[in-house]
Amino acid sequence: MTRPRALLAAGIACALATEFGACGSSKPQLRVSAAASLHQAFTRYGESFAPARTRFSFAGSDALAAQIEQGARPDVFASADKKLPAQLFVKRLVRRPVEFAVNKLVLAVPSGSPITRLAQIERPGTTVAAGTASVPIGAYTATVISRLAGAQRRALLANIRDREPDVTGIVGKLTEGAVDAGFVYATDVLATRGAVRAIELPPTLQPRVGYAVAVVRGSAHLSQALAFVAGLLRGPGRADLAASGFLPPARR
Amino acid sequence: MSAPAHAGPALGDPHGSPARRLVRRWWFSLAMGMSIAVVLAFLTLPVVAIFVNVSPGRLLSSLGGSQSLQALRLSLETSAIAVAAVVLVGTPGAYLLATRRFRGDALVLTLIELPLVLPPAVAGIGLLASLGPHGLLGGALAAAHIQLVLQTAGVVVALAFVSAPLYLRQAHAAFAAIEREHIEGALALGIRRPAVFLHVAVPIARPALLAGLALAWGRALGEFGATLMFAGSFQGITQTIPLAIYDEFSSDFPAALALSALLVVVSAAVLLTIKLLWTPSRPPI
């Protein structure tokens, strides 16, 4: 009677200890806060990342940055823009950020949609999902809309009926047919494997979508965190990013 | 297992010396006291922290913002409609379930309680899969020109879904606790069933019904995940206070704190109002 119980207790203790990175393998646990749009690429990269076991927290970059400002201490912060890591760097919460990937903003529609051009979503009655003002996907969308002519801009703004806290929410609304169109990243469309179709934006409207990553100050796993970032820039992470549709950062 | 079962007075002896009994009782009281202290500290600390960080002036000025005000109005309206619908539609059903025995009644009760243990994200997905444009009833709703996603009506549906079980199980328990003589006596006097329900059962169950209503309303006021997934978030149309709080969290933490304080005050006010409502009239027994 006692042995199964003891085993169970040991199992529970081990499971609890694993949460704090102390049981089973001796690998440390690297906590990575990453933009929702990095879900696929980072999950793949994390599986093959040798120096540490990775634990990801995917959400809107702005929410992740707010958590760090409120005292959360992941080891790495990867943002869908360069602004948020730069702000945390100024506040001395993260080390110097570095750009590691480039993405594109697209207009996305459910696969069966008759919409083929941006101008079509300016028609009254069309519903459009976008990000909130503070999440990068919403900020990029605001840039695109600000580049439109006055009448077009007003028509499009009037059709935005949903402000999602991260890009995952916009994709979900599209795949469920809850909206007619939404502004998302090109990589998100690829990840839906056909459920959602991308409509390219004219080059004059396309904002520059650069992703930056930074090691969080006070990280207990500095060498692993640095290795994680290095792998994104030059190592296997780069291939995983490319496989998900990300472009390499611009050469300096 | 091999040792014989304890037959003697060695274990759990209830007749120890008075001193030992006193010590035992003292330890018990201490453990109970510790339990309530830990529970109280754990449950009140986050609420206290919100108010420590938000001055009354800041709380009032947060009401000045159009976003907060719209979110507050929307939250109150949608939760009131959702809870009213749950009470009107659900009370007779709970009465039936509590007073009649039929095959599968326990299953029905379990199904009604199921949303209680569903994560809000599952509720949101389920609502989309059933009532969304691509959902099971999506075509029928579209044919009837009923649109729920991205609409205030969708918020009401999400709130009703997550809050209904809280009210219904309370109502069921309240009706089930009514002694049968009350009902049968009234029926024997020739009072019709609808009148027995309205004028005997409901007044007796009223305190418990109101308690269930308060719980359901509180849950509806705080709903976040299902609303976001099913109805979306848009200022003035679908952005309730919890959604506005999350929006502010990532851009303006103090504003999120102030809005949270507002939600605590509103929820507490709802709870208190309902509690005060039920104290004057006691069940006629």
- Domain-located, residue A3: no
Instruction: Clarify whether residues A217 and A98 are in a common domain.
Output: yes
CA–CA dist A31, A33 (Å, integer):
7
Instruction: Clarify whether residues A174 and A214 are in a common domain.
Output: no
Of B134, B238, B239, the CB nearest to A176: B134
B180 CB-near residues (< 8 Å, 6+ apart): none
Q: Which residues of A touch B133 (CB under 8 A)?
A: 176-178
Return the CATH fold of B59-278.
Answer: MetI-like fold (1.10.3720)
Instruction: Clarify whether residues A109 and A81 are in a common domain.
Output: no
CATH code at A91?
3.40.190.10
Instruction: Clarify whether residues A138 and A222 are in a common domain.
Output: no
Instruction: Clarify whether residues A72 and A124 are in a common domain.
Output: no
Instruction: Clarify whether residues A80 and A33 are in a common domain.
Output: yes
Instruction: Clarify whether residues A66 and A131 are in a common domain.
Output: no
> Does residue B239 sit at the A interface (CB-CB below 8 Å)?
yes
Q: Do B138 and A177 touch (CB under 8 A)?
A: yes
B-facing residues of A in 90-129 (CB < 8 A) are: 127, 129
Give the tens place of pLDDT for each residue, B122-167. 999 999 999 999 899 999 999 999 999 999 999 999 999 999 999 9
Of B229, B237, B247, the CB nearest to A132: B247
Range of the domain at A127: 105-200
Q: Of B139, B145, B158, B133, nearest to B231 (Cα)?
A: B158
Q: Do B1 and A1 touch (CB under 8 A)?
A: yes
Q: Establish whether this prediction's ipTM goes over 0.85.
A: no
Tokens of A218: 């006070």
Tell how strand A160-164 and strand A128-131 pair up. Answer: parallel
Question: Count of domains in chain A?
Answer: 2
Pick the residue of B250, B253, B257 with the most A CBs within 10 A to test the interface with A by mutation. Answer: B250
> Does residue A195 sit at the B interface (CB-CB below 8 Å)?
no
CA–CA dist A72, B117 (Å, integer):
29
Instruction: Clarify whether residues A218 and A194 are in a common domain.
Output: no
For the residues of chain A, what is the DSSP string, one character each? -HHHHHHHHHHHHHHHHHHTT-SSS-PPEEEEEEEGGGHHHHHHHHHH--SSEEEEEEE-HHHHHHHHHTT---SEEEESSSHHHHHHHHTTSB---EEEEEE-EEEEEETT----SGGGGGSTT--EEEE-SSSHHHHHHHHHHHTS-HHHHHHHHHHEEEEESSHHHHHHHHHTTSSSEEEEEHHHHHHTTTSEEEEEPPTTTPPPEEEEEEEBTT-TTHHHHHHHHHHHHTSHHHHHHHHTTPBPPPP-
Of B133, B228, B229, the CB nearest to A177: B133
Instruction: Clarify whether residues A150 and A224 are in a common domain.
Output: no
> Does residue B128 sit at the A interface (CB-CB below 8 Å)?
yes
> How would you write the pLDDT of chain A (252 residues) with one tens digit per residue?
445 566 566 555 555 555 554 454 578 999 999 999 999 999 999 999 999 999 999 999 999 999 999 999 999 999 999 999 999 999 999 999 999 999 999 999 999 999 999 999 999 999 999 999 999 999 999 999 999 999 999 999 999 999 999 999 999 999 989 999 999 999 999 999 999 999 999 999 999 999 999 999 999 999 999 999 999 999 999 999 999 999 999 765
Q: Of B130, B239, B160, B67, nearest to A161 (Cα)?
A: B239
- What size, in residues, is chain A? 252
Instruction: Clarify whether residues A115 and A188 are in a common domain.
Output: yes
